[in-house]
Structure 1
Amino acid sequence: MEGPLLVVACGRDTISTASSIKRLASENAFVVQIQNPRLHLNRFDMVITPKHDYYPLTPEGQKQVPWFLRSWITPRDPPDCHVVLTMGALHQIDFSSIRSVAASWHDEFAHVPRPLLVVNIGGPTRNCRYGVDLAKQLAASLLSVLASCGSVRISFSERTPQKVSNIIVKELGSNPKVYIWDGQGHNRHMGHLAWADAFVVTADSVSMISEACSTGKPVYVLGAEHCKWKFTEFHKSLREQGVVRPFTGSEDISESWSYPPLTDTADAAKKVHEALAARGWKLKV
């Protein structure tokens, strides 16, 4: 109650606690809820959520959702001024962090043949179902673009099924241009983001795609056709803005292209600063 206090909460498990803080100390606390709490958005001073969470309000979304479920999945009304919509997921990747990380990974990546293609492989989800067929498609497409690559680095996530990783290792593991990180030692994810010239990312992970798209480098997405529901809207929005392209295996990785990097985290933080300033508050850093 001594405030003023900025409270930033994220995820389903924090909704009750964050809304209680707002109710008990409404004058002394500014409560930001990250990710869509679905109901009672007025319990928070600000809600920050991807715009594809409002997919059920679109004509296509309303075809897929029975009317009696729509209000549970997303608010009935379009977002108002205290709801900040992002293109993708929030994360810690921006120009300054990439520049800092690039220096720390210099010894490992500075002499890697270029262009360097980084491949991030996730795993099937309820809304993006795929299996060995997509793994075989990915392996074949990577073999097709190898001639235009100096080197390729492949990483799996914790969700990658063994049968998917086995196919990738079998088809590409012995190729001298390809390095497959086995998950041992220091996590090379940040190094890959900093030093890659282009990315291929499986469509299942909003976070991995969002991070890659914050670099301004070419991002190719594989498997978007296997996704449904709000993932469809996410991929469509990125394609329409020229941020990502589908990975077909016919690409020339040496031909670069660019776009304004996604800056969702910085944009959302700016909105928080502006809202606090309107109250006469200032963050202490």
Structure 2
Amino acid sequence: MRAIRLPDPPGVSVSHATPEIFDRGLSTVVRRAVIIGNGAAGAEHQSIGLVRALGLASSYTIYRVDRPTGEFNRWLRWLPLGIHKKIDCLVRHLHLVWWQRFATSLGFRLQSQKTIGISSAGLSGIEAADAKKLADLANLESARNGPLLVLAAGRDTVSIAESVKKLAPGATFVVQIQHPRRCLDNFDMVITPVHDYYTLSPAARQEAPRFLIPFLTPHQPPDKRVVLTVGALHLADPSMLRSAAETWHSLLAPLPKPLLIVNIGGPMRCCHYGQDLAQELASKLKRVLSSCGSVRISYSRRTPAKVCDVIQRELGDLPNVHIFDGTGPNPHLGHLAWGDAFVVTADSISMLSEACSTGKPVYVLGAERCTWKFRSFHKSLRHKGVARNFTGLEDISESWSYPPLSDNAAAAERVRAALAERGWSLAS
């Protein structure tokens, strides 16, 4: 039967234009993003950096995975989130039952969990990530506001992200940042550094015991849904650095040039070191001080106290050397904006990725102490000419440059292309 269009009622103006969510021809417009975080700044900053690269910096909301904390739970963080929560619930229940019986035997009545010091983990004002609620939000709002872009980073977020995709496949585009170590079909896109696939290389096969090889992940080469980056995604995009340059202008602009920024992380399983590396760093920095106008040193959350003590003892009293003690606003982005060269310890892929995105000289300390995929990462930086080993013989006043790492922009372009294949586009 042929459809007949009725005339508009008298005195009433009815718009027959295409709804706003289809305002780019036949393309559905993605206007909102949800970030599923794990409480770790390094992981959440990767998601925020991608949101900014996609132009949705003012249209995203963060939810966080509520992993149990405190008491015995610090020994259970290696477990998958769902199993950890079930064990935590069981232990708390048994604990409460035991206390109830104990209190009853003494003639008391237990009123609540608070009586025995049991409290649930807080989220610091950020709502807990619940897969069903997020899926319901996407399904209910998709017709009016368009589909939802979901970004997750970190091991604890994997199960939530894949559940959202399963519950709302037509109303979401789910991106998992960092390799999820499970079936890639559970996500619309996976963004991960190329060194995560080091496990498939011939070198890795020689390093790992043969009986462990079947258990190594990933098991297969990346497919079309996997986007490989050189380093980690991050917040230090040009817009953010311009803003940081203005914020820190009064403090950092007057410093004598060149300004050398030193970022110190902390030892990891694949990058072992301690006071020995701190002593090596201090000795090498003393050798390059004559070619520096000023030096600013900062630590990460993982930096051991014994490393900080060595740096403070060896360099704390030297002129034109400032060590950030953690009090007051963090100058990290200001350092990236105003620094003329960088020395970064080899353990921090995030800090190295940020520094290498500036196009300024980057020197790595301790790369020879790293193994497994960290060694592969450092090799790729040297191969691209974006970083060099720190020897202590450098003339910091002699600058050198390279095409900056642009992982954020490259990943954002792949997301746009994948959305276009689905008939979706991003709001401008």
What is the TM-score with the length of structure 2 in the denominator? 0.65
CA contact (8 A) 1:201 1:220 kept: yes
Partner of 2:205: 62
Q: Deviations over 1:104-124 (max 9, x none)?
A: 211111110000000001111
* 1:281 corresponds to 2:398: no
When the two structures are aligned, how many residues end up with a matched partner? 285
Partner of 2:275: 132
Q: Please, which runs of 5 or more residues in structure 2 have no aligned partner?
A: 1-138
CA contact (8 A) 1:41 1:47 kept: yes
* 1:228 corresponds to 2:371: yes
How far 1:67 moved relative to its partner?
A: 4.8
How far 1:178 moved relative to its partner?
A: 0.6
CA distance in structure 1 between the partners assigned to 2:381 and 2:154 by the alignment: 24
Q: Deviations over 1:187-223 (max 9, x none)?
A: 1111101000000000011111111111110000000
CA distance in structure 1 between the partners assigned to 2:426 and 2:209 by the alignment: 44
Q: Partner letter of residue 185 of structure 1?
A: G
After TM superposition, where is structure 1 displaced by more than 6 Å over at least 4 residues in a row? Answer: none
Local SS of the residue matching 1:33:
strand
How far 1:68 moved relative to its partner?
A: 5.0
CA distance in structure 1 between the partners assigned to 2:166 and 2:204 by the alignment: 33
CA contact (8 A) 1:119 1:199 kept: yes
How far 1:140 moved relative to its partner?
A: 0.6
Partner of 1:190: 333
Q: 1:119 aligns with which of 246, 262, 268?
A: 262
Q: Deviations over 1:152-196 (max 9, x none)?
A: 001112211121111111111111121111111111111101000
CA contact (8 A) 1:118 1:198 kept: yes
CA distance in structure 2 between the partners assigned to 1:73 and 1:214 by the alignment: 31
Change (3 A) 1:71 1:278: farther
How far 1:71 moved relative to its partner?
A: 5.0
CA distance in structure 2 between the partners assigned to 1:162 and 1:134 by the alignment: 13
Partner of 1:90: 233
Q: Deviations over 1:239-263 (max 9, x none)?
A: 1110100000000000000111111
Q: Partner letter of residue 154 of structure 2?
A: G
Partner of 1:45: 188
Partner of 2:133: none
Local SS of the residue matching 1:282:
strand
Q: 2:346 aligns with which of 203, 220, 225?
A: 203
Q: 2:411 aligns with which of 253, 268, 283?
A: 268
- For the aligned residue pairs, the C-alpha RMSD in angstroms reads 1.3
Q: Deviations over 1:99-157 (max 9, x none)?
A: 22111211111110000000001111111110111111111100000000000001112
How far 1:72 moved relative to its partner?
A: 3.9
Local SS of the residue matching 2:398:
coil
Q: Partner letter of residue 276 of structure 1?
A: L
CA distance in structure 2 between the partners assigned to 1:77 and 1:131 by the alignment: 36
How far 1:284 moved relative to its partner?
A: 2.8
CA distance in structure 1 between the partners assigned to 2:213 and 2:165 by the alignment: 26
How far 1:43 moved relative to its partner?
A: 1.1
CA contact (8 A) 1:39 1:72 kept: no
* 1:32 corresponds to 2:32: no
Q: Partner letter of residue 160 of structure 2?
A: T
Partner of 1:107: 250
CA distance in structure 1 between the partners assigned to 2:296 and 2:302 by the alignment: 18
How far 1:14 moved relative to its partner?
A: 1.5
Local SS of the residue matching 1:75:
coil
Q: Partner letter of residue 353 of structure 2?
A: S
CA contact (8 A) 1:101 1:190 kept: yes
CA contact (8 A) 1:38 1:73 kept: no
Q: 2:295 aligns with which of 128, 152, 159?
A: 152
How far 1:28 moved relative to its partner?
A: 2.6
CA contact (8 A) 2:199 2:218 kept: no
What is the TM-score with the length of structure 1 in the denominator? 0.96
Partner of 2:118: none
CA distance in structure 2 between the partners assigned to 1:134 and 1:272 by the alignment: 40
Partner of 1:13: 156
Identity value in percent: 64
- Bigger radius of gyration: 2
Q: Partner letter of residue 28 of structure 1?
A: A
Moved more, 141-150 or 180-189: 180-189
